[in-house]
Amino acid sequence: MSSSAKSTLPDPLKRRDILYGKDTPAEVLREYGDLYLKDGKPNDAVEFFGRARHTEGLRRIRRMAMDEGDLFLFSRAEEFLQEEVSPEEWRNLGNKALEKGKLHFALKSFEKIGDRAGIDEARARLSEALGNDKEAS
């Protein structure tokens, strides 16, 4: 790691200054993105990689988001990458979100491609989950 980035995460004010500073080199942004990722903070990492236009880092986060069924993180990486997402990728994301119990993410993923079976499955599981919550109270 270069001497321009520390091996620890910055406090919130320093984070803001680094991330949104006009003079922060892309290399430093990438290094902080790696640090945040290693610390288990991919939502912060995606911002640093995006500002650095670090395609490799963004694709790594995109794969991680796909594996976790995380629509929010996947979409954020895609905003920076500006690549078209295929219907099959949305379907895979929705299925992974269902598997992980991220039912709202699953529903939104299936809605993006009009996957009626996926939408119905996600809605049924959401309804069941909400019904179970009402019975528990």
Q: What is the pLDDT of residues 7-50, one digit of tens each?
A: 789 999 999 999 999 999 999 999 999 999 999 999 999 999 99
Give φ, ψ of 134 to 5 degrees.
-65, -40
CB contact set of 67 (below 8 Å; sequence gap of 6+): 96
Angle, helices 87-100/103-113, rounded to nearest 10 degrees: 160
Residue 4: what pLDDT? 45
Please report which confidence band the pLDDT of residue 133 belongs to, taking 50, 70 and 90 as the band edges: low
- DSSP H stretches of helix in 70-115: 71-81, 87-100, 103-113
Kindly state whether residues 40 and 104 are assigned to the same domain. Answer: no
| Rounded-to-integer distance, Cα 102 and Cα 122, Å | 9
Q: How confident is the model at residue 131 (pLDDT cuts 50, 70, 90)?
A: confident
pLDDT value at residue 2 = 46
pLDDT per residue over 81-115, tens digit each? 999 999 999 999 999 999 999 999 999 999 999 99
- State whether 56 and 91 are in the same domain: no
The reply to whether 6 and 68 lie within a common domain is: yes
**What is the predicted pLDDT for the residue at 132?**
67
102: domain range? 86-137
Residues 27 and 58 in one domain: yes
Q: How large is the angle between the packed helices 55-68 and 26-38, nearest 10 degrees?
A: 20
Contact in structure between 115 and 106 (CB atoms under 8 Å): no
Q: pTM of the entire structure?
A: 0.86
Q: Are residues 16 and 1 both part of a single domain?
A: yes
Specify whether the CB–CB gap between 15 and 39 falls below 8 A. no
